[in-house]
Amino acid sequence: MYFKCAVVLTILIHGAWSATEQLKFPETFMFGAASAAYQIEGAWNVSDKSLSIWDKLLHDRPELVVDHTNGDVACDSYHLWRRDIEMLQELGLNMYRFSISWPRLLPTGFSNYVSEDGKNYYNNLIDGLLEKGIQPLVTIYHFDLPQSLQDLGGWANPLITDWFADYANVVFSLYGDRVKYWVTINEPMGLCDGGYGQFSAPYFNDTYVGQNLCNKNTMIAHAKAYRIYDELYRDKYHGKLSLSTLFFWFKPVEPEDQEVTDLTIDLWAGRYTHPIFSKEGGWPRKLEQLLNENAKKQGYHYRLPPFTPEEIELVRGTYDYYALNHYTTRLVRRAKPREKAGSWFFDGSPELNVIFDKDPRWRTTGIDWFAFYSEGLREQLHWLNTTYDIKEIVITENGIPTLDDGLVDILRLDYYKEYLEQILLAINDGINVTGYAAWTLMDNFEWMSGYFSKFGLYAVDFTHPNRTRTPKESARYYSQVTRTRMVHPVVDETELNYVK
């Protein structure tokens, strides 16, 4: 069935340029940018904020980050949030996705004590955005767990599902009157596969047990938060909730690689979406079987901790839209005899014995995991629309990492143009994409890549005490798109007051 769809797509894509010259994004479309607390806020030790797992990890082990930096100051958005709002205005955006820092709002990790300063910071930010007609899309958790909860087992301890639900309840009670779009947890793959695969905090090496406990616990934590919203807030506030998924698009190298490609999609995204978005709930069936067979060969009972029937029902259907973080695409094939299956999750999977390739025709940047294939996004949107019963998709992250390419970032401009064009085509196909958040507003602390890898529409002078922000060419382009709602904007530069 998918192949037929692909043939139709290919035909459509060939007519893309002429088709999108006339097309416009709907009036209601949310044009946004995204960020995350630890990557921009800085102010790691102000007021009563406690340490997050990222504060702790990078103070203890600075050598893990390529340039030995951390997020202690970052873009200093804790102090410079007014400038951030000004930039969103310059870009002509009507949506801003940011995250709340759990240890800033709840320094003990628990709901027994709410920080006044933490609470006010996010109140000011939300009110400042709304004053300018910018709707907040708020991520409740974006990787920065309070260290005190990590010391109690973090995401591997099933009790975290209640700790998270309590935290989410506080967040809903404080901000739910003004926030209509929520992401409960950002990219659980990042915190589970990354955190237990020596790729991100807490930087454990436990891919067989810890990672999978974490996987299950993120599903339950998300669902408990969702059920609390249903019970206490939905009637009053009418907000929408989802969980955002990091989802590379995957295509088979040859038609016979379709089966392992489907398994790869389940491994990458299905573990974090099937329990929530599928009709039957629970783990993706074939993947669960295969992983559990691998586990049994090693003497474990299972790889993916089973859900009880009650848990399946708790989690199933806990979404109001789909939140997609899309960056790039891979080609999938079985490893050849004696070829080592990629050991890192960007390159392949030993569990599935598959290799992920990049088509040599795809453009790349200096960042090795990245490749540029915009049609992949439209193919993926079709796949999502046919696989799940979703009424609305918001692209909560999309962007391109480069090494420092200064203010004339033509590759980023092209990336946004081509990816936005594919979204416009998907909307024209009848897929309900209602919003888009560019990753990211400004160059920031990019986890293990430090300040080395740049994703920003704005450059930031990290040596300046004021962390001066300057728009790049991609910002100028994006501001034309938001003002004309076209991907090939025809504008008279002198008549529009875009980015200075």
270 vs 264, 288, 315, 370, 492, CA distance in Å?
9, 10, 14, 21, 46
Q: Taking each helix axis from N to C terminus, what angle separates 2-14 and 410-429, rounded to the nearest 10 degrees?
A: 120
Q: Which is nearer to ligand NAG, 255 or 465 (CB)?
A: 465
- Return the bridge partners of 363, or none: 372
Give least dist CB 377 to ligand NAG, A: 14
Judged by beta carbon, residue 53 or residue 174, the one nearer ligand NAG is 53
DSSP 463: T
Write out the E strands in 322-468: 322-325, 329-334, 348-349, 354-357, 393-397, 433-438, 458-460
Which of 53, 24, 48, 26 is CA-nearest to residue 37? 53
What is the DSSP annotation of 294-326? HHHHTT-S-SSPPPPHHHHHHHTT--SSEEEE-
3 state DSSP class of 23:
coil
Residue placing its CB nearer to ligand NAG in the complex, 166 or 193: 193
CB of 381 to ligand NAG, least distance (A): 9
Would you call 397 a catalytic residue per the annotation?
A: yes
Catalytic residue among 187, 351, 421, 446: 187
Binding site for ligand NAG (CB under 6 A): 45, 72-73, 205, 382, 385-386, 391-392, 429-432, 434, 465-466
Residue 405: exposure state from Cβ atoms within 10 A (0-12, 13-18, ≥19):
middle
What whole-number distance in Å separates Cα of residue 232 and Cα of residue 292? 38
Choose between 37 and 431: whose C-beta lies nearer to ligand NAG: 431
Please state the closest distance from residue 477 (CB atom) to ligand NAG, in A.
26
- The CB-side HSE value for 493 (13 A sphere, CA atoms) comes to 4
Say which of 41, 288, 311, 397 is annotated catalytic. Answer: 397
Neighbours of 461 (CB within 10 A): 12
Strand pairing report for 433-438 and 393-397: parallel
Chain centroid offset of residue 342 CA: 23
Pick the closer one to ligand NAG by CB: 86 or 405. 86
- Non-local CB neighbours of 157 within 8 Å, separated by 6+ positions: 217
Considering beta carbons, is residue 161 or 278 the nearer one to ligand NAG? 278
In the bound complex, what is the minimum distance in angstroms from residue 321's beta carbon to ligand NAG? 7
CB of 351 to ligand NAG, least distance (A): 13
For the CB of residue 361, give the shortest distance to ligand NAG in the complex, in Å.
Answer: 27
Smallest gap, in angstroms, from Cβ of residue 468 to ligand NAG?
A: 8
Long-range CB contacts for residues 232-237, cutoff 8 Å, separation at least 24: 232/169, 232/172, 232/173, 233/172, 233/173, 233/176, 236/176, 236/177, 237/172, 237/176, 237/177, 237/180
Which residues belong to the active site?
Answer: 187, 397
